[in-house]
Amino acid sequence: MYVSFHGHSVVKIKTGEFTILVDPFIKGNALTDLKVENEKPDVILLTHGHNDHVGDTVEIAKACDALVIAPFELANFIGGLGVKTHPMHIGGAREFEFGKVKFTQAFHGSSFETENNEVIYTGMPSGILFTAEGKTVYHAGDTALFGDMKLIGDRHPIDLAFLPIGDNFTMGIEDAAYAVELLSPKAVVPVHYDTFPPIKQNPLHFKELVTSATVHVLKAGEGLKI
């Protein structure tokens, strides 16, 4: 499995046969290396409905007939826009031909703002555990620190975790470093920082604080084989 980071919270997972794209916020993301027209994922996973995470899901999914997997209310909203979806929810897991998907809790919000400034409720925010080829990747989505991260780590040995460090809207560096202690992943990548002025952070400080896992500070387009 090859897992790469593409700015903000965009993550791409490539297995032997499939490409999975998580929270594909591309247009409007000055830190990404991706172009919408070049992305041909088999599956798109969404953690929650905020525009900087749903991003370009609809355009990409329509172009390549990708399956979008998201929390129930968000999946229903996306499906209403003409996209093939599979709804799930927090605590639920399902085996697909490309791997196993399980949604976990996250402490945040979830709504989508349309071009007409209409705010659509999109259910609960979530994190995602993705397992394939004997490896598990945890994308925490946008979240605060919470104690049940220990339960997630105890129940699901994590090979690679993507944790937000931007503060203001999510965990900051200190809380994210403590989250690593609770989750006990083998490796961690900081995400959701520097995209906008309120979330400017120094990821190297996060790396200094984490002692129980290997921290990879990745530039957009860089990845890891796990």
**CA-CA distance, 20 to 18, in Å (whole number)?**
7
User: Which pLDDT belongs to residue 38?
Assistant: 98
User: Which pLDDT belongs to residue 182?
Assistant: 98
Domain limits of the chain?
2-225
Please determine, looking at this structure, whether the domain spanning 2-225 carries the CATH number 3.60.15.10.
yes
What's the chain's length in residues?
226
Q: Which residue has the tokens 């399902």?
A: 94
CB-CB contact of 136 with 158 (8 Å): yes
**DSSP class of 38:** G
User: From the CB of residue 39, how many other CB atoms can be counted at a distance below 10 Å?
Assistant: 22
pLDDT bin (cut points 50, 70, 90) of residue 208 is very high
pLDDT in tens, 76-129: 999 999 999 999 999 999 999 999 999 999 999 999 999 999 999 999 999 999
3-state helix, strand, coil in the chain (%, to 5): 25, 30, 45
Q: Is the pTM of this model over 0.75?
A: yes
CB-CB contact of 123 with 93 (8 Å): no
User: Which pLDDT belongs to residue 126?
Assistant: 98
User: Residues with Cβ < 8 Å from 212, sequence gap 6 or more?
Assistant: 180, 181, 184
User: Which pLDDT belongs to residue 1?
Assistant: 97
Element spanning 113, H or E: strand 111-113
Average pLDDT over residues 126-142: 98
pLDDT in tens, 33-87: 999 999 999 999 999 999 999 999 999 999 999 999 999 999 999 999 999 999 9
- The percent of residues in the chain predicted with pLDDT above 90, rounded, is 100
Q: Which residues are registered as beta bridge partners of 69?
A: 45, 86
User: Which pLDDT belongs to residue 144?
Assistant: 98
Average pLDDT over residues 8-25: 97
Helices (H), 65-220: 72-79, 149-155, 173-183, 203-209
User: Which pLDDT belongs to residue 57?
Assistant: 98
User: Which pLDDT belongs to residue 129?
Assistant: 99
- Helix (H/G/I), strand (E/B), else coil: 115: coil
Q: What average pLDDT is seen over the chain?
A: 98
